[in-house]
């Protein structure tokens, strides 16, 4: 019998929720790293018991944690002194060492002046599709790092940050973060990232060189609404069987590209609001997409106090509200960009977490929802593993 | 033997109690104490001072003998009471946040 493992990152720790394929009864373990912000937790598709977590704190900086037993026990990778002694007899301790390549230079600050690149935290961890020792990290200030030793040490893929447009990147309200990494399952050298507020970028050579893929996006807050970079992309997603088709939740607008990001078109259609953060795709239907609209960029709450996931079965434009089991009055939570995921069971499960601490599951593609737990700390990220 | 006290979260991270003891060669300074702490507990590298720049993290302070030495040069020798283990070198997290 299959089971699912839901990995929840919150403002006060990580939680691991497990259930069988009915997805009705849940065992909850945690909090792990209680009191720390856990921006993201994600397991390796090659070795599902290997799970990486980004643990951060305004006091103590960034820690990378790794579990090799499905989330039961955790350690910073390579942190044991006996694993680390170098030729000088000193521990190396580099699992949380994120240092920009070369002279980091500057990007734009909120007021348009140059500002030095400063590493702050890891927003997103994306394990390789083929090697359990390879994992990518998307960080703030925006850059991409790669580890080839299970997270013990990290090297920047600096071709992204040093792109000719890099000095013009500017932070969004939440900081200048690289929050989305997608690896094309048909060509692992092709990857997409999204940066708030620089836009979307694509590499076709494993991260050595990058190009902005933002044509068709329009952002009225920019001096040139159609500029090559500067767009506040909140999330991008694709279906593994159709990776050339991308969906995007932007700072206003739901967008779609059918040519790997070379050109985008708006598919917001009949949504009550095209502002929001997460977007995801049904596990078996590449044209079925989910978003959670919120009222506006200044009021990050559901319209009319009703928490509604919107589903399109036509790849955008036509959207239906999914409400069964979700609060339909007096609800003022938000759903953050990392906080939605799907499982791959025969009947696709959809999951999301809120800033109010609820994690909801729909075991039937969004038709009905129940709460896995209603009293977590504010949820920062949700990922799902489907286990045989 | 130098005594070092740690904030709650760093104790948990390093798997230690409220105070650790370290052998530190003379002269004993903020830098040599932190070098010894990170050598003994590699998981703490990057948490007290930035991994790249080795600058003290803004919300952390260093106290010795009732005195805040956070802003003093990190290579200045610490008081005898600390170097002889009579008083601890205290790493304290600011009371802030939610």
Q: Which of residues 117-146 of A touch B (CB under 8 A)?
A: 119
Q: Do B38 and A91 touch (CB under 8 A)?
A: yes
Question: Rounded to an integer, what distance in angstroms lies between the CA atom of residue A104 and that of residue A113?
Answer: 16
How far does B78 lie from chain A, in Å, by closest CA?
A: 24
Q: Closest to A90 (Cβ–Cβ): which among B39, B43, B48?
A: B39
Question: Could you give phi then psi for residue A138, rounded to 5 degrees?
Answer: -100, 125
Predicted pLDDT of residue B39: 86
Contacts of A84 in chain B (CB under 8 A): 42
Q: What is the pTM of this model?
A: 0.94
Q: Which of A235, A102, A228, A100 is nearest to A165 (CA)?
A: A228
Predicted pLDDT of residue A85: 57
Predicted pLDDT of residue B98: 60
Q: Which of A212-226, A252-266, A306-320, A326-340 has the lowest mean pLDDT?
A: A212-226
Q: Which of B2, B34, B9, B6 is nearest to B18 (CA)?
A: B6
Confidence of residue A298 (pLDDT cuts 50, 70, 90): confident
DSSP state of A338: B
> What is the average per-residue pLDDT within B54-78?
95
Predicted pLDDT of residue A92: 59
DSSP string, B43-77: GGTTTSB-TTT-PBPTTEEEEETTEE-TTS-TTSB
How far does B43 lie from chain A, in Å, by closest CA?
A: 6
Tell whether the model's pLDDT for residue A61 goes beyond 60: yes
How far does B86 lie from chain A, in Å, by closest CA?
A: 27
Query: Model confidence over A85-105: pLDDT tens digits?
Result: 555 554 456 788 899 999 889
Q: Which of A38-47, A190-199, A289-298, B51-60 has the lowest mean pLDDT?
A: B51-60
Q: Do B48 and A63 touch (CB under 8 A)?
A: no
Mean pLDDT of all residues in chain A?
Answer: 94
Q: Compare B50 and B80 and report the one with higher pLDDT.
A: B80
Q: Which residue of A has its CA nearest to B39?
A: A91
Q: Which of A15, A77, A19, A71 is nearest to A47 (CA)?
A: A71
Q: Do B45 and A61 touch (CB under 8 A)?
A: no
Contacts of A93 in chain B (CB under 8 A): 38, 42-43, 45-46
Non-local CB neighbours of A229 within 8 Å, separated by 6+ positions: A165, A168, A169, A198, A199, A212, A214
Tell whether the model's pLDDT for residue A352 goes beyond 80: yes
Tell whether the model's pLDDT for residue A6 goes beyond 90: yes
Taking the Cβ of residue A59 and every Cβ of chain B, the question of whether any pair is shorter than 8 Å is answered with: yes
Vertex B51 angle, CA B46 and B53, to 5°: 135
Q: Which of A7-21, A73-87, A184-198, A233-247 has the lowest mean pLDDT?
A: A73-87
Q: Which of A335, A375, A367 is nearest to A352 (CA)?
A: A335
Confidence of residue A317 (pLDDT cuts 50, 70, 90): very high
Q: Do A58 and B52 touch (CB under 8 A)?
A: no
Contact, B72 vs B33, CB < 8 A?
no
Q: Which of residues 65-94 of B touch A (CB under 8 A)?
A: 93-94
Q: Which residue of A has its CA nearest to B15?
A: A75
Q: Compare A38 and B93 and report the one with higher pLDDT.
A: A38
In this structure, are strands A3-10 and A13-20 parallel, antiparallel, or unpaired? antiparallel
Predicted pLDDT of residue A297: 85
Predicted pLDDT of residue A64: 95
Tell whether the model's pLDDT for residue A54 goes beyond 60: yes
> What is the average per-residue pLDDT within A203-225?
94
Predicted pLDDT of residue B42: 86
> What is the average per-residue pLDDT within A69-92?
72
Q: Do A97 and B46 touch (CB under 8 A)?
A: yes
Predicted pLDDT of residue A301: 94
How far does B94 lie from chain A, in Å, by closest CA?
A: 8
Question: Could you give phi then psi for residue A223, rounded to 5 degrees?
Answer: -55, -40
Contact, A75 vs A52, CB < 8 A?
no
Q: Closest to A60 (Cβ–Cβ): which among B9, B39, B52?
A: B9
- Which is it for the CA torsion A289, A295, A296, A301, positive or negative? negative
Q: Do A96 and B45 touch (CB under 8 A)?
A: yes
> What is the average per-residue pLDDT within A276-286?
98
Q: Do A59 and B51 touch (CB under 8 A)?
A: no
Helices (H), chain A: 81-84
> What is the average per-residue pLDDT within A268-272?
98
> What is the average per-residue pLDDT within A227-231?
92
Predicted pLDDT of residue A222: 86
Q: What ipTM was estimated for this complex?
A: 0.86
Q: Do B9 and A76 touch (CB under 8 A)?
A: no
Predicted pLDDT of residue A221: 86
């Amino acid at each position: 019998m299959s089971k699912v493992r839901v990995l929840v990152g919150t403002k006060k720790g990580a939680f691991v929720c497990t259930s069988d394929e009915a997805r009705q009864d849940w065992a909850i373990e945690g909090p792990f790293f209680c009191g720390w912000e856990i921006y993201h937790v994600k397991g390796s598709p090659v070795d599902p018991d290997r799970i990486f977590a980004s643990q951060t704190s305004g006091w103590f900086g960034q820690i990378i944690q790794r579990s090799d037993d499905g989330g039961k026990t955790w350690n910073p990778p390579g942190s044991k002194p006996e694993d680390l002694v170098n030729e000088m007899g000193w521990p190396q301790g580099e699992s949380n060492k994120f240092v920009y390549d070369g002279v980091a230079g500057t990007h734009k600050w909120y007021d348009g002046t140059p500002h030095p690149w400063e590493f702050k935290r890891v927003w997103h961890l994306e394990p390789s599709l083929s090697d359990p020792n390879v994992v990518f990290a998307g960080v703030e200030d925006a850059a991409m790092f790669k580890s080839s030793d299970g997270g013990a040490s990290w090297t920047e893929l600096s071709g992204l940050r040093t792109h000719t447009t890099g000095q013009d990147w500017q932070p969004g309200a939440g900081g200048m973060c690289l929050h989305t990494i997608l690896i094309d399952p048909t060509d692992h050298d092709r990857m997409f990232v999204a940066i708030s507020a620089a836009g979307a970028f694509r590499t076709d050579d494993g991260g050595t060189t990058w190009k902005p893929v933002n044509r068709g996006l329009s952002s009225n807050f920019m001096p040139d609404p159609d500029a090559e970079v500067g767009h506040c992309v909140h999330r991008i997603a694709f279906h593994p069987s159709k990776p050339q088709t991308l969906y995007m939740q932007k700072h206003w607008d739901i967008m779609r590209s059918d040519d790997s990001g070379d050109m985008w078109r708006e598919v917001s259609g009949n949504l009550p609001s095209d502002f929001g953060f997460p977007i995801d795709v049904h596990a078996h239907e590449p044209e079925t997409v989910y978003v959670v609209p919120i009222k506006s960029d200044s009021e990050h709450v559901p319209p009319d106090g009703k928490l509604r996931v919107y589903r399109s079965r036509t790849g955008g434009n036509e959207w239906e509200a999914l409400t069964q089991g979700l609060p339909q009055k007096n609800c003022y939570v938000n759903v953050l960009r990392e906080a939605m995921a799907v499982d791959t069971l025969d009947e696709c499960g959809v999951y999301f977490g809120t800033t109010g601490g609820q994690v909801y599951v729909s075991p039937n593609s969004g038709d009905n929802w129940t709460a896995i737990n209603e009293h977590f700390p504010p949820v920062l990220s949700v990922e799902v593993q489907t286990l045989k | 033997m130098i005594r070092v006290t740690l904030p709650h979260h760093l104790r948990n991270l390093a798997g230690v109690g409220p105070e650790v003891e370290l052998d530190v060669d003379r002269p004993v300074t903020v830098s040599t104490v932190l070098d010894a702490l990170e050598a003994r507990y590699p998981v703490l590298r990057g948490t007290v001072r930035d991994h790249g720049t080795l600058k003290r993290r803004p919300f952390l302070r260093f106290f010795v003998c009732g005195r805040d030495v956070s802003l003093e040069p990190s290579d200045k020798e610490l008081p005898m009471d600390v170097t002889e283990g009579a008083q601890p070198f205290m790493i304290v997290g600011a009371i802030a946040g939610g």
